[in-house]
Amino acid sequence: MAWKWIKTFVYLSMCVTSAVGNKQASQKKCADFNNTIWQQYRQGIKLRVQYFLLTRNNADCASLFTQDCLNQTQKHTAYFNSSLPTKVIVHGYRPLGSKPSGMSDLAKALLREEDLNVLVVDWEFVASFAYNLVVENYKEKHGSTLESFHFIGMSLGAHVSGFVGTLFEGKLGRITGLDPAGPMFKKAAPFDRLDSSDALFVEAIHTDSDQFGISIPVGHVDFFLNGGMDQPGCTHLDLASMFDYVTCDHMRALSVYTSALNRSCSLTGFPCSSFEEFLAGKCITCEDPFTGTCPQIGLLKSGITVTPLPNHEKVYLLTTATAPYCAHHILVELRVSPLDKSADIQLTLITVGHPETELKLKLNKDEMVYKKVTAHPAQLCKIDSVQVKNTGARFFRQGDIQFAYICISEIPQTRGLDPLCVKNINIGRGVPWSRDFVQVC
């Protein structure tokens, strides 16, 4: 991102805060992203940066902030309202000849959630050339309160948002990084990438930290979905295009955040030192550092009320493969009697009308208590039955397996639901065991 772009945004901020009051007719043509081809890029015949404004008064037809506004000739849109909060959406790297996906859906979801100004930044010319040049150049020479601005940056746009926050000395209200870009940023100093010092509250959603996203925490709170790497549903080859297949994990952050704004269900994270520790059932509360209130994606400041804010706090959660992506976190705990040799079991949670959840566990001779967190599409009180099978190899399979108990519970345990427990279970070779539950939510 060039210094010229940063200056443009600063001038834009000054202009739009004094723009309210001129109620001229809205533009006849809806503004849209540049869709530049290589020849046009070389000729430089299009705007290098554009700003689209969407409000509840023009949610289906974006207005364009022109360069005239930046030159203070007052040719501004009549829709901007400086008394309302402002969300600024910044897309990331995109190939020439393409438009950033998901930006319109995100803007509309924001407007459904709250009455505000949504500014969408189109910086195609500097975001569409070679990726390494974008990274090297994005900060070189080329009336509203700061607290009311919330930047939402996808991929490289997350770091652009962070640099804007640096220019404002960390006084922007909020920055949300949607899978902040990783290549060439993983070893960068905090000044050269998104960091918690860039705004009063910085959050990040990580979905592709082993490829296009960054693997380190960069905000006050960092949500690592499914460990922050491989996302459910992104391994299928029936996606719309090879580009969609390659970027599926990376773009999932945008899809999940947009879906979370609809509030159809909660996407709750649990603070933990690692994803492995979380799956092992060692991080099932949010007492430290959130005093019992687990952070959620999409809420104001992620629902975090603690003071001072945590820093670079990693939280983990599981999701489903499709919108709204919400999964119920189920803790499975079992105690097994001493074994002659190791054994393999498969535990299945069954809810009529929903996909089954299968959980495979390896039981060792020297362990007795096992815990595992898994994702289930229905809440605990709607689980109809649980089934357990002894699945070891035929000739090396453990004989009968004795369980002192098998308990399943939902985390976080905020609604007072007691765990579902079954005691004194014997599972023989090749004979599945199951138990039905009759509950009322």
- Residue carrying the six token digits 């039905």: 436
- Residue carrying the six token digits 């924001």: 110
- Tell me, yes or no, if 250 is annotated catalytic: yes
Catalytic residue among 13, 91, 148, 179: 179
Catalytic residue among 250, 328, 329, 376: 250
Tell me phi and psi for residue 436, to 5 degrees. -90, 150
Residue type, 184: M
Q: In what order do the strands lie in the sheet with 357-363?
A: 357-363, 343-350, 385-390, 433-436
Alpha carbon 286 to its chain's center: 19
The b-or-e profile of 32-67 (16+ CB within 10 A means b, else e) is ebbebeeeebeeeeeebbbbbbbbeebeeebbbbbb
Smallest CA-to-CA distance from 50 within 33, 28, 71, 68 is with 33
295 Cβ contact list (under 8 Å, min separation 6): 221, 223, 268, 269, 286, 302, 303, 304, 315
- Residue carrying the six token digits 């010229």: 4
188 Cβ contact list (under 8 Å, min separation 6): none
Which residue intervals of 75-210 are DSSP H helices? Answer: 103-113, 124-127, 131-137, 156-167
The b-or-e profile of 285-305 (16+ CB within 10 A means b, else e) is ebeeebeebbbbbbeeebbbe
- Tell me, yes or no, if 179 is annotated catalytic: yes
Catalytic residue among 155, 209, 255, 409: 155
The b-or-e profile of 188-219 (16+ CB within 10 A means b, else e) is eeeebbbbbebbbbbbbbbbbbebbbbebbbb
190 cis-preceded (ω within 30 degrees of 0) = no
- Tell me, yes or no, if 274 is annotated catalytic: no
Catalytic annotation, residues: 155, 179, 250
